[in-house]
Structure 1
Amino acid sequence: MAGLTATVARERLQALIPTDHAVIAAEARHDQTRRELDSARRVQAVVHEATRPSRSRKMALDHGSGDRIVGLDAKQLRDSARALCRDHDVARTVLSVLVQNVVGSGIDVIPAPRRRGGKVDRGLAQDLRDAWDLWWDRPEVTWQHDFGKSQQLLFGGCARDGESFFQDLTGRIPYLDHGTEVPFSIEMLEADLIPLDFNDEARNIRQGVERNAWGRPVAWHVYKQHPGDGLYWKAETKRVPAEFICQLANIDRIHQVRGLSMFAPVMNRLRDIQDYEDSERIAAKVAASLCAQIIKGDASGYGSSKDPVTGQALEAAAYRALTMVPGMIGDDLLPGEQIEILDSKRPNPNVAVYINDQLRRVAGGTSTSHSSVSKNYDGTYSAQRQELVEQWGAYAMLGEFFTARTMRPIWTRFVQACLLARIVRLPRGWTQRELMAAIFVRPQMPWIDPLKEALARGEMEDRGWQAPQQNILLSGNDPEEVLRLREDWRDQTAGQSTPQDTNPDDTRASRRSLARALALKEPE
């Protein structure tokens, strides 16, 4: 029985040995595969040099979503940007350049109501234009700013603070006088009035914005008073539906709701420029205080004897001051003494080069042109034109953004208010969208050489590539106003010897002759 049991055990053991070997082999293959995968991951992680750790370079970390970053930094960035624009001339220049080229004196609206495929209704357009011109002077609730200044404040706040807001107020509002016959006003709001620290997960409120399940703002929670008013401020908010609040924000990431300052990438550089200039100014002041030194002569001449010139004991005349005036002669020097003018190496000739290079980077980080920020317009026509053409794309993007987020909503509410007050009437068969058709006139790219620009635009008009109205708009004028003024001039000069319009064919011929003459000149 024992022998049988041993035999059975041996047979069973022999049967299990191949299975164990197979399991061991499979585990070995699995371990090898895992090691190869780990090695591949490690290799993949350091393929890019930017991902390799280094003692001298810190690896960048992701601090979360756009909203989380806004919650961490927006308040401090806003305060820092305001301080820079308040005290730093370069920051102030950057802000002014942005406002001048994006908004200018104010983006205007030229009404162009028309049926689909039809012509512009001139009478209806004139009625809207008259109401718009009247409303332009008092568009906001305080009556302190016209619409051009309101646009500058809104866009300037967006660029500096990261965002700005305005509320639509249409119809009869208690204790509000709209100021014109159009029952429509806007209330401009700074970013401080929407609290960044107001969060309520139960109502899906984050950073003062109440959103639906898709992330679309449905309401804004607004402070009733500005939090910077001081002792009498109360942290009370009111809920305003999102359809009445328009936000103009500098957004960089998807699903980000609140904006960040455009000065964020260049704040440290601006502070460095300020510190460097301050140190150079102090060094120049110290250098200006140092004038000259007297190199003493033989030590034996400084005993207890008297000065042969003044008769004063030398011990009592240890300190001598020479008043430096033009044409002075140092005639009170002792034998062996000489005056050495101190060379302070100031002003530093490299300051302008260094500051100019830093301003170039500031301009790149704030979507402005270097020549406008540095106020340095050196260069040929081609170089200046190239910079202007490249930079104007950035201004056009910001201008379209401002038009979409501010001008179109305001124009829509304005036309609706005109209909509400019966200032204009919707013609039979028209839709409100057809009535609201308009042209938004943004600041246009300036001319570097007016003659060359005019010749180019005239040539495009002759070839049919542009309409005369487009050329007039590109010059910043209203085509209707230009036609009216031309007709008025003809009426005033009728029967007089004032030169009138020339033949269009002769004008084209002379323009082409002038263009050929300019082309023969040497390139700049």
Structure 2
Amino acid sequence: MLSRIKNWLTSSTRSYQAAQGGRRGSALKTMHHPLQSIAAARGTLAARARYLAANNPLAASGVEAWVSALVGTGIKGQAKTPGPLRNTLNIGFENWTDDADADGITDFYGMQALIVRRVVIDGEALAIFVQDGDRLAIRVIEAEQLDASYTANLANGNVIVQGVEHDANGKRVAYHVFDRPAAMDYASTRQRTRYAASEVMHVFRRDVPGQVRGITWFAPVIVRLSDLDGWRDAQMMRQRMAAMLAGFVVSADGSGAPLEGQQSGSTIVGGFEPGTLQYLEPGQDIRFSEPAKIGQEVIDFADITEREIAVGLGLPDYLLSGDLSDVNYSSIRAGMVEFRRRVEALQHSLLAFQFLRPAWRRWATLEVLSGRVDAQVAEALPVSWITPKVHWVDPAKDVRAEVEAVAAGLMSRREAVAARGIDIEQLDAEIAADKARADALGLTFTTMPPAANDNQPAAQAAA
């Protein structure tokens, strides 16, 4: 009775239905302290996401879809400094990308893909600058090497939260990282090292102000993926049982002795060979099993669940499942426009700010200080990032719209060229070289095809 009175008083003072008490409101789950919830659940969620990404086809497809969308062949840096310095920096950076990996396994663009893959699965990725003299390299390490169990108040007023050290103003000043992953710790001899924040690139999506560590992108769909896995296993077993043709001999007196076969207890186990004629005793009959078939409702349920998982991962459902049977031109175009906005926001706010810009700043500073580039440090720091070319749904219409936008002054030619993942200076140099070579050889090409008339068939019909 007291509980009912309390729920009535609570519900009567709240105007939001979702905040009311009562039997209906008591069934709603809550998260009062998101930062504490993230800190407590981050490790468990990441471990479960890693298992799903390694064993579940949909989870693996979702990871690779995000890697392909955010990085593709790689996001390229282009210096914004005008004049010859720009070309010098661009060539030098492109040459450095082959040696960027401290482990020597991939290049700078492959490291981008690795970081995105770990961010999606683990929720975060860590990279450390490795400097040998005036030569720079980067090493990507496991997020678990950042000691999540290390939380303490230091004598100098700094606070360590899950391995990340903050000063009195809340600014990150250091990271406390183990020298080896846990899997390589054979004798518990791992050493924890303090790295200044300027030496570490911590990449994660911040969902809550004050968030210290990242949380896996699979958090909203882990339960769904696990349940769907179990459901698919059950359906697969059902199909296997349905594929087993079983025959049952029924005798009038209940005995099965006249049927030939091997005796197993009180049951006769036998089989039919192709072309066999089996004679039955009078009164006997053979009946075959009729297992239930998979109906349309089962397929619809699987499709709906896959769409829910895709929504939870922030992906169009056809990128997750690879099923384009229900996709048409309008739906795929509308879906891709919205998805590209999301991808562009993550490329610049997450990848560029947390990983690409710090890498460029450190590399450009070393190039100037070592004397390989004759410039001031401030002149070498401005940079823009060219994302991979986005393929169009309808290239003819999209190119025509782009040309018209440039002609009308609604966008610059540099912007249009950058959208293709190309540096405009490099493109112009190649066009000039092609033109000079063609002129020298006396070759003539059509530079601009005539504009197509979409209404030409209708106009001819009207005439």
The reply to whether TM is greater than 0.5 is: yes
Of 394, 403, 421 in structure 1, the residue corresponding to residue 370 of structure 2 is 421
CA displacement, residues 286-337 of structure 1 (integer Å, 9 cap, x when unaligned)? 1112x1425647669x899x89xx9xxxxx99654223x5xx5856455666
| Structure 1: distance between partners of 2:344 and 2:256 | 80
Aligned to 1:176: none
Aligned to 2:61: 93
- Would you say 1:363 and 2:319 are equivalent positions? no
- Would you say 1:276 and 2:231 are equivalent positions? yes
| Structure 1: distance between partners of 2:136 and 2:272 | 74
Q: Is the alpha carbon distance of 1:43 and 1:298 closer, same or farther for their aligned partners in structure 2, counting shifts above 3 Å?
A: closer
Residues 78, 423 of structure 2: 8 Å contact kept: yes
Of 150, 167, 174 in structure 2, the residue corresponding to residue 198 of structure 1 is 150
- Would you say 1:464 and 2:409 are equivalent positions? yes
RMSD: 3.1
- Would you say 1:250 and 2:250 are equivalent positions? no
Q: Quote the sequence identity (%).
A: 21
- Would you say 1:514 and 2:453 are equivalent positions? yes
CA displacement, residues 433-483 of structure 1 (integer Å, 9 cap, x when unaligned)? 443233211134321121121121122122222233322222223323333
| Structure 1: distance between partners of 2:278 and 2:396 | 65
Q: Is the alpha carbon distance of 1:370 and 1:298 closer, same or farther for their aligned partners in structure 2, counting shifts above 3 Å?
A: same
Residues 222, 238 of structure 1: 8 Å contact kept: yes
Aligned to 2:360: 411
Aligned to 1:389: 337
Q: Look up the equivalent residue of 2:219 and give its one-letter code.
A: A
Q: Secondary structure at the match of 1:100?
A: helix
TM-score by length of 1: 0.77
Aligned to 2:346: 398
Q: Is the alpha carbon distance of 1:332 and 1:448 closer, same or farther for their aligned partners in structure 2, counting shifts above 3 Å?
A: farther
Of 188, 191, 194 in structure 2, the residue corresponding to residue 236 of structure 1 is 191
Q: Secondary structure at the match of 2:243?
A: helix
Q: Is the alpha carbon distance of 1:486 and 1:371 closer, same or farther for their aligned partners in structure 2, counting shifts above 3 Å?
A: same
Q: Secondary structure at the match of 1:258?
A: coil
1:255-334 alignment runs, 5 A limit: 255-289=210-244, 291-294=245-248, 296=250, 320-323=270-273, 332=279
| Structure 2: distance between partners of 1:292 and 1:62 | 53
Q: Is the alpha carbon distance of 1:245 and 1:495 closer, same or farther for their aligned partners in structure 2, counting shifts above 3 Å?
A: closer
Q: Is the alpha carbon distance of 1:353 and 1:132 closer, same or farther for their aligned partners in structure 2, counting shifts above 3 Å?
A: same
Q: Look up the equivalent residue of 1:221 and give its one-letter code.
A: H
Residues 159, 261 of structure 1: 8 Å contact kept: yes
Q: Secondary structure at the match of 1:260?
A: coil
In structure 1, runs of 5+ residues without a counterpart are 1-37, 114-119, 173-181, 311-315
Q: Secondary structure at the match of 2:453?
A: helix
Identify the range of structure 1 (441-450 vs 92-101) with the bigger mean alpha-carbon deviation. Answer: 441-450
- Would you say 1:446 and 2:395 are equivalent positions? no
Aligned to 2:381: 436
Residues 248, 287 of structure 2: 8 Å contact kept: yes
CA displacement, residues 359-405 of structure 1 (integer Å, 9 cap, x when unaligned)? 11111111111110011123221111011111212111211121111
Of 144, 158, 161 in structure 1, the residue corresponding to residue 119 of structure 2 is 158
- Larger Rg, first or second structure (1 or 2): 1
Aligned to 1:51: 20
| Structure 2: distance between partners of 1:107 and 1:133 | 11
Residues 204, 214 of structure 2: 8 Å contact kept: yes
Of 83, 88, 94 in structure 2, the residue corresponding to residue 133 of structure 1 is 94
Deviation of the 1:408 alpha carbon: 1.1
Q: Secondary structure at the match of 1:265?
A: coil
Residues 149, 163 of structure 2: 8 Å contact kept: yes
